[in-house]
Structure 1
Amino acid sequence: MSAIVAPAGVFRPQLAAFGLIGSAAVAFGVFLQGFVIVEPAPHELFVAALIGVWAFCGLRISRSTAPLFTLLMLFMTGGLMSLTVMEDLDVAPMYMAISGFLAITSIFYAAIIEARHERLKLMFRAWVGAGIGTATLGILGYFGAIPGGEAFTRYDRAMGAFQDPNVFGPFLVAPSLFLIHGVLKGRLIDLPLRALGILVMAFGLFLSFSRAAWALYLFSACMLVFIMLLKERTGAFRLKIFVIALGGVILMVTALVVALQIPQVADLFSNRTQLVQDYDGGHLGRFERHRIGFLMSMEKPLGIGPMMFSKIFPEDEHNIWLKTLTSYGWLGFVSYVTLIVWTLSIGFRFMLLERPWQPYMMIAWIVLLGHVGIGNVIDTDHWRHFYLLLGIIWGCGALEYRYSRRSQAQSPYQTTSEGAAA
């Protein structure tokens, strides 16, 4: 779909229709990321078919996104090599198949964004729709307001249409930031609807009782306001951002105080706000497992295979750096670290430039940076939205490289024309 191009100056309604259908399908694929109760989820089935159709129509991987492709393939090569050290593969091949599919989705998103940056708005709006929808299910399920609501909770924590509250919460951060950005820069007439969406997702995230999600939300919101204050130069606009942000904080605190009047919420909140839980600092707790796991990985260049760590210790790694070492080996670890550093450097270089895709890159970069932080206490290698964030940043980076090349190509012509005119 991205490779079918009409001659310059010729409008082809059929091609335009194909483009609209393709963009709508991509947005629907993003929407489905919010509903992953079973695996394979509808998202996998739909996006796999979508990628197949797009590849048939001529999906392009440019030089700008080739490093993403290369690093993810090296990452997966490390994962496949780790299978060779396992005596009993069990579910390991399926685990690696899911990893490979998610890697492909990241490349796919980068390619289609590079082909048409207008898709970013549709994708983020779909993400907002998914966020509000799954947050609503989590809230209603938590309070038992709908039949079968327990399907949307676990351990007395809201998890929406996900399998884990710790994935549900972080999923809501990027769409929340998109709405917050709209509140700060958009029209006042749209503020009530955006504020309502922010409150619904914030309340759903709060009821997930995921400390990582709470930290991610606070970090991301503060970073967004900080970067926007840094980017905008006019005093009036900075004052607007400050006033609206302050009003938002007051509203959030008020909502939190009201929620804590519910005994069920207050009790779990009191428990979850303890900095170190028993399963963190106890014998073979999270942090001790990290130490032992890193020492063990130094002697296992190929890793120990996916899902094997939990058979040796009471739980999974709960640390993405350790996870890459155990499940993807040294090759996977080096590839992953390189990918993260490269991705963050792309966003850091370009996210303040005045471009149509700048807000989306900025939001994705902030949220990805936060995910890198919470990756120290949680595994993110199978989070669908994590790979979407990678694709967004690389796609926007590719757009920027193309923009720069075109600008440089036009400069000599402009200089020659000015010289001739003189």
Structure 2
Amino acid sequence: MSAADPSLTAPPGFAARPPAPAGAARAAGPAAPVAPAVARLQRRLLWLVGFSGGFVMIEPAPYELVVLLAMVTFGLTGLTLRPAHLPLVALMVLFNIGIAIGATQVIGEPGIAVWTFVSYFLGLTTLFVAAALADDPLRRFDALMSGWVLCAVVVSLIGILAYFGKMPSADSFLLYGRAKATFKDPNVFGPFLVLPALVALGRLTFGRLRSQIVAAAVLLILAGGFLLSFSRGAWGHFAFSAVLFLGLCYVTRPALGDRVRILVFAGLGVAAVALLVVALLSIPQVADLFAQRAALVQDYDAGHTGRFGRHVLGAMLMLENPFGIGPLQFAKYFPEDPHNSFLAAFASGGWLGGVTFVGLVLTTLAVGLRGVFIPSPVQGRLIAVYATFVGVVGESYIIDVLHWRHYFLLMGLVWGLTIAARSFAPGPAPAGAAGA
């Protein structure tokens, strides 16, 4: 059975265009034969990677241990880097060399060694996911996303219950009166939910009735998590990514019926979220904090040393320090951290780290944009991932994402799925394909 077989296409909501007839595309299975038991083990580890990504209250987090186990297992059972991975490898290596140079200036300070190690490790997770998803992308992506969606539901429920004081030690899952669930910060908790929400949105739009019911329930739970995180960045991130996701689906689906479904369910989705927001705002404690957080500019954003003022002052400081000032040092020069990932990359890794980080982001955006327009069985999945990544790149201008696990996971998914999409390009029919 080839990887383009309809039985291996995405769950409802992810099938892009119908797979090409047998023999019209090359299979995108593993580069080398893998025993069924080994393949199942690999997918179960990817499920754990997706599920563990939401439990990051400590550093290193359990996620690091799970990813390390997955890396070792895949390395022993089959993991291939292709020529298409080389730009990603080169940029990630250069970025981390910059981080190493910056860290040597302050390596003796508490926490610097751990921060630097985590940075290296997150870079490796991008390369690992990009390599793993380039082979057998359909089943591996679905395994990883199954864990991620379940995790998003669990942590959203934790955040919701904690916010209303309906669970033990509720304060441990709140910060400044906002739900943070099992994250350190509400501003990380909210964005973590975006890709699972787009997955549910896709299934709600294109799935069958049973799948739509489950997807609607998932979306309502995640919407509660979004709102109670009171993260303006997460609200804007989800809104932008959802519009981009549906827009790309609309453009890449030529069937009139699919386009009508997109328009109908987009309208229904907006109405449902609006009703949920109205219901939550009827609770005084929610309404008061919402009114405060909904302001476009907060007190800490404005002023000479406010968020945006620090961007300008920090950029001037970076021009004077080609090797950077080192990780975790920005707040020693200014009242707070930079709240800008690009500025943080220059501060932590100097000109080398900053320039290569910008190059890494722009290259990933360009690679993914090309990939979403390649007709293949992974197209729908890639659209959801790419829309999420574009949104988080925009959000990274106002917050530091250099240690967001799911940011580097998303980057790896964009590369892996794009490389997989190219492997479905028209080519000679494999022997026996006609009977697959």
Normalising by structure 1, we get a TM-score of 0.92
> Structure 1 residue 313 and structure 2 residue 334: aligned?
yes
The residue number in structure 2 matching 1:12 is: none
SS of residue paired to 2:300: helix
Report the AA paired with residue 298 of structure 1: L
**Residues 74-85 of structure 1 mapped to structure 2, 5 A cutoff:** 74-85=94-105
Gaps of 5+ in 1: 7-14, 414-422
Say if 1:3 and 1:57, in contact at 8 Å, map to a contact too.
Answer: no
The residue number in structure 1 matching 2:33 is: 5
Gaps of 5+ in 2: 1-29, 432-436
Per residue, is there more helix in 1 or in 2? 1
Report the AA paired with residue 44 of structure 1: E
Say if 2:376 and 2:424, in contact at 8 Å, map to a contact too.
Answer: no
Which of 346, 366, 376 is 1:325 aligned to? Answer: 346
Identity %: 37
The residue number in structure 2 matching 1:417 is: none
Report the AA paired with residue 180 of structure 1: L
Q: 1: CA distance between counterparts of 2:374 and 2:188?
A: 31
> Structure 1 residue 211 and structure 2 residue 239: aligned?
no
Say if 1:83 and 1:89, in contact at 8 Å, map to a contact too.
Answer: no
RMSD between aligned residues: 1.8
Q: 2: CA distance between counterparts of 1:87 and 1:53?
A: 32
> Structure 1 residue 90 and structure 2 residue 110: aligned?
yes
Q: 2: CA distance between counterparts of 1:262 and 1:36?
A: 29
Please report how far the alpha carbon of residue 159 of structure 1 lies from its aligned counterpart in structure 2 after TM superposition.
Answer: 0.8
Please report how far the alpha carbon of residue 234 of structure 1 lies from its aligned counterpart in structure 2 after TM superposition.
Answer: 2.9
Check 1:264–1:107 CA distance in 2 against 1; reply closer, same or farther (3 A cut): same
Post-superposition Cα deviations, 1:373-404, rounded to whole Å, max 9, x if no partner, equal: 11111001100011111111110122133333
SS of residue paired to 2:359: helix
Please report how far the alpha carbon of residue 87 of structure 1 lies from its aligned counterpart in structure 2 after TM superposition.
Answer: 7.5
Report the AA paired with residue 353 of structure 1: I
Please report how far the alpha carbon of residue 222 of structure 1 lies from its aligned counterpart in structure 2 after TM superposition.
Answer: 1.2
Which of 156, 174, 177 is 2:177 aligned to? Answer: 156
Say if 1:152 and 1:161, in contact at 8 Å, map to a contact too.
Answer: yes
Say if 2:371 and 2:418, in contact at 8 Å, map to a contact too.
Answer: yes
- Out of 386-395 and 83-92, give the one that drifted further: 83-92
> Structure 1 residue 61 and structure 2 residue 81: aligned?
yes
**Residues 14-29 of structure 1 mapped to structure 2, 5 A cutoff:** 15-29=35-49
Please report how far the alpha carbon of residue 56 of structure 1 lies from its aligned counterpart in structure 2 after TM superposition.
Answer: 2.9
The residue number in structure 1 matching 2:4 is: none
Q: 1: CA distance between counterparts of 2:232 and 2:66?
A: 32
Normalising by structure 2, we get a TM-score of 0.89
Q: 2: CA distance between counterparts of 1:110 and 1:224?
A: 21
Report the AA paired with residue 48 of structure 2: F
Please report how far the alpha carbon of residue 158 of structure 1 lies from its aligned counterpart in structure 2 after TM superposition.
Answer: 0.5
**Residues 354-373 of structure 1 mapped to structure 2, 5 A cutoff:** 354-373=375-394
Please report how far the alpha carbon of residue 196 of structure 1 lies from its aligned counterpart in structure 2 after TM superposition.
Answer: 0.6
The residue number in structure 1 matching 2:145 is: 124
> Structure 1 residue 289 and structure 2 residue 310: aligned?
yes
Report the AA paired with residue 413 of structure 2: I
**Residues 36-51 of structure 1 mapped to structure 2, 5 A cutoff:** 36-51=56-71
Please report how far the alpha carbon of residue 84 of structure 1 lies from its aligned counterpart in structure 2 after TM superposition.
Answer: 3.0
Q: 2: CA distance between counterparts of 1:179 and 1:292?
A: 41
SS of residue paired to 1:227: helix
Please report how far the alpha carbon of residue 283 of structure 1 lies from its aligned counterpart in structure 2 after TM superposition.
Answer: 4.3
- Out of 218-227 and 129-138, give the one that drifted further: 218-227
Which of 382, 391, 395 is 2:403 aligned to? Answer: 382
The residue number in structure 1 matching 2:422 is: 401
Report the AA paired with residue 120 of structure 2: G
The residue number in structure 2 matching 1:276 is: 297
Which of 103, 106, 109 is 2:129 aligned to? Answer: 109
Please report how far the alpha carbon of residue 408 of structure 1 lies from its aligned counterpart in structure 2 after TM superposition.
Answer: 4.4
When the two structures are aligned, how many residues end up with a matched partner?
A: 402
**Residues 214-225 of structure 1 mapped to structure 2, 5 A cutoff:** 214-225=235-246
Say if 2:149 and 2:196, in contact at 8 Å, map to a contact too.
Answer: yes
The residue number in structure 2 matching 1:227 is: 248
The residue number in structure 1 matching 2:14 is: none
Post-superposition Cα deviations, 1:69-95, rounded to whole Å, max 9, x if no partner, equal: 111111000000112333843321211
Check 1:190–1:57 CA distance in 2 against 1; reply closer, same or farther (3 A cut): closer
Q: 2: CA distance between counterparts of 1:48 and 1:408?
A: 36
Query: Bigger relative contact order, structure 1 or 2, given CA contacts below 8 A and separation 6+?
Result: 2
Report the AA paired with residue 214 of structure 2: L
The residue number in structure 2 matching 1:188 is: 209
The residue number in structure 1 matching 2:219 is: 198
The residue number in structure 1 matching 2:261 is: 240
Q: 2: CA distance between counterparts of 1:230 and 1:53?
A: 39
Q: 2: CA distance between counterparts of 1:37 and 1:83?
A: 24
Post-superposition Cα deviations, 1:351-380, rounded to whole Å, max 9, x if no partner, equal: 133211111211111111111111111001
Check 1:55–1:280 CA distance in 2 against 1; reply closer, same or farther (3 A cut): same
Q: 2: CA distance between counterparts of 1:280 and 1:167?
A: 18
Q: 2: CA distance between counterparts of 1:319 and 1:124?
A: 28
Say if 2:371 and 2:422, in contact at 8 Å, map to a contact too.
Answer: no
Q: 1: CA distance between counterparts of 2:211 and 2:148?
A: 18
